Structure 1
Amino acid sequence: MSGRPQKFDPNFVIEAAMKAFWDKGFEGTSTQELCDKTGMGRGSLYHSFESKSHLYEQALLRYHELGIKEQTRILLADDSAINRLQALLEWGTNCDTSSESRRCCMAIYSAIERSGKDSKVDKINRHYFNKLESLISSVIEQGMTNNELRNDRSTLEATRGFIASYYGLRILGVLNPSKEFLSTVISSIIENL
C-alpha cells in the first residue's frame, strides 16, 4: 500500500530553490541543500521537478520574472529618461549590496556558470536579455529625442553600451560594495550618456 503523495506549493519550492541557487549557483548547490531549503524529500523533489537542471531552470525563470517586473516599473516610470536610467543603475547596485552575502545577480551568475553547458539556460537568459534591451532602448530613444542624451551614435550603440556598463556595475558592486565607489561609477555612466 503506497502513501498519499504529500501536497506542496510549487511556488514556494521554486522560490526556495531560487534562493539556494542564487547563493551558490547550480554546481555549488547540492540536492540535499535543495531538499533542506524546500522541505521536500529527494524523491518528491525529483518526481515533481524531474531533475536538478529542470528545477534550476524554473528558479531562473522566477528570478527573471521578478527582476523584469521591477526593471519595467523603473524604466516606465513617469520621469526623465536620464533619471530612469540612473534609477535602474541604483536599483541594481542596491540589489547586489543589500545583503551580507553580496550575492551577484542570478542572471549574471547563471550566464557565467552555465553558458555553453545548458542550452535551456542560454535560451532563458537570451529571452530575458532581449526584454531588458528593448526596455532600455526605448528609454534611450526617448532621451535622444528629448535631447537629454547624446545624439552622436545610434540608439542600438547607446543601448548596448549602457547594458555593458550596467552589468559591469553589478559585478563591481559585488567586488567593492562601497556606496561611495558605486555612486562614482554610476555618475560616470550617466555623464557618458
Structure 2
Amino acid sequence: MARPKQFDPEIAVDQAMEVFWRKGYAATTPQDLTDALGIGKGSLYNAFGSKHALFEKALHRYRDSQALALVELVGESGPVKVRLRKVLRLLAETDLADPDRRGCMAVNAAAERAGVDEVATELVRRMFDRTEDAFRALVEEGQRAGEIAPGRDPAALGSLLLNTVVGLRILARVAEGPERLTRVIDATIDSL
C-alpha cells in the first residue's frame, strides 16, 4: 500500500520557485530544494522527476503569477504614458524593496539558461513575447489617442519597452537607490 503524500505539490512548486528565483538554476542543489520543501530527496524525485522538471514547473508558476501581472498592469485604463511610467516605476520599486534583490526570474533564467536549456529558453521567450505584445498594443492605443506620434513603429517601441524592463530588472539588482532607474524610466517615456 502506497503512503499518502506528505506535502502539497502545488505549494511545493511555489516554494521551489522561490529557491530558484533567489539562487538560480545552477546554484540550487537538490538539498536546497528538499530543505525548502520539507521533503526527502526520494519524495522530490518521485513527485517531480528531476530538478530540471521542477525548475520548468517553477518557471510556469512564475509566468502565471508574476509575468501575467505585468500584462494586466499595462492593460489598466488611463493615459498611455502615465500607465507606462506607473508600470516601470512599480517594477523598479518592487525590485529595490526586495531584500534578496532577486530581480525577474524570467530575466535571470534567460541570462543563466539561454543557449543551454531549450525548454527554459522557449518558455522565457514566450513570456517576453507576451510582454512585448502588450507594450505594442499599448503603443498603438497611445497612437490612436494622440499621445504617441502615429509615424512611430509600434513593434519597435514595444521592443524598446521590453528591453527597458529587462534592463531595469538587472540594474535594480545592483542599484544603491532609485536614481539611475528613475532616469532610465523618464528617458524611455520621454522618447515615446
Q: Which secondary structure does the structure 2 equivalent of 1:62 belong to?
A: helix
Q: Name the residue aligned to 1:11.
A: 10
After superposition, the C-alpha distances for 1:158-187 in whole angstroms (9 at most, x for unaligned) are: 111121122112111112141233222211
User: Contact between 2:132 and 2:161, CA under 8 Å: does it hold in 1?
Assistant: no
Q: Name the residue aligned to 1:169.
A: 168
Q: Name the residue aligned to 2:186.
A: 187
After TM superposition, the structure 1 stretch with the greater mean CA deviation from structure 2, 53-62 or 117-126, is: 117-126
Which stretches in structure 1 are left out of the alignment for 5+ residues?
A: none
Structure 1 residue 64: Cα displacement: 1.1
Structure 1 residue 95: Cα displacement: 2.6
Count of residue pairs brought into register by the alignment: 192
Paired with 2:155 and 2:72, the residues of 1 have a C-alpha distance of: 22
Q: Name the residue aligned to 2:24.
A: 25
% identity of equivalent residues: 32
TM-score normalized with structure 1 length: 0.93
Q: Which secondary structure does the structure 1 equivalent of 2:25 belong to?
A: helix
Q: Which secondary structure does the structure 2 equivalent of 1:166 belong to?
A: helix
Q: Name the residue aligned to 1:140.
A: 139
Paired with 2:149 and 2:173, the residues of 1 have a C-alpha distance of: 30
Which stretches in structure 2 are left out of the alignment for 5+ residues?
A: none
Paired with 2:149 and 2:158, the residues of 1 have a C-alpha distance of: 12
Q: Name the residue aligned to 1:75.
A: 74
Paired with 2:41 and 2:95, the residues of 1 have a C-alpha distance of: 31
Structure 1 residue 69: Cα displacement: 2.8
Structure 1 residue 24: Cα displacement: 0.6
Q: Which secondary structure does the structure 2 equivalent of 1:53 belong to?
A: helix
Structure 1 residue 127: Cα displacement: 1.6
Paired with 1:107 and 1:68, the residues of 2 have a C-alpha distance of: 8
1:48-59 equivalent positions in 2, closer than 5 A: 48-59=47-58
Amino acid in structure 2 at the alignment position of 1:31 = P
Q: Name the residue aligned to 2:92.
A: 93
TM-score normalized with structure 2 length: 0.94
Q: Name the residue aligned to 2:120.
A: 121
RMSD: 1.5
Structure 1 residue 85: Cα displacement: 1.1
Amino acid in structure 1 at the alignment position of 2:188 = I
